[in-house]
Amino acid sequence: MANRLTLICHGTTAAMRAGAFPRDEPLEPRALAQTQAWRGRLRRADRVLTAPALRARETVQALGFEAETDVGLRDWNCGLWAGLTLAEVDTASPGALALWRNDPKAAPPGGESLDALMARMDGWLDDQRDGHGHVIASTHAANVRAIVVGILRAPPAAFWQIDVTPLSLTDLRTDGRRWSLRTLGQPMADPPDA
């Protein structure tokens, strides 16, 4: 039996709307209501996981699932940039954003590089290959993007070309040897088939 992994990108937060690097914050009320509208509409899973962040936990709870917290799904560590907008980072550290976006080994002060994020998510995905059945995981757009880049064996620069919207589904399958991408970023506004 092929294993199935459905990644749910959490809903919108105030930091996302402001174009800021995330802190641990709740979903916006509208995102919470949109998520609750899907309660009971997703097919049951054999296992449900969530990132530790409040926004990921609220997303999976609003969908009506009891989830196990998985620290491997934690968000990309933005270090000292957490809570700052892109403009604030650029003003405080001119050139730092360009370096971060162009060098996968560069990291925000106290944070995680793109290479480190991709290695972490590759390891997490490898751990999921041995299970059976359907797993749903509530997580972050950066994690979904890193997983997709890894599955496609694309260069790290491809990470910046993938758009994963809030409240979207990404569906993966494995035969135990390799993962395949079935659906990327299906908006939850579309009819559910997960």
Q: CA–CA separation, 187 vs 36, rounded Å?
A: 14
pLDDT computed for residue 158 by the predictor: 98
- Answer yes or no: is pLDDT of 7 > 80: yes
* Alpha helix stretches (DSSP H) within 70-183: 86-92, 96-102, 114-128, 141-152
Across 18-27, 123-132, 185-194, the highest mean pLDDT is recorded for 18-27
Which value, in Å, is the radius of gyration of the alpha carbons in the chain? 16
Tokens of 102: 């162009």
Q: CA–CA separation, 105 vs 149, rounded Å?
A: 16
- Answer yes or no: is pLDDT of 104 > 70: yes
Residue-range domains of the chain with CATH: 3-187 (3.40.50.1240)
Helix (H, G, I), strand (E, B) or coil at 178: coil
User: Tens of pLDDT along 19-70?
Assistant: 999 999 999 999 999 999 988 888 789 999 999 999 999 999 999 999 999 9
pLDDT computed for residue 2 by the predictor: 54
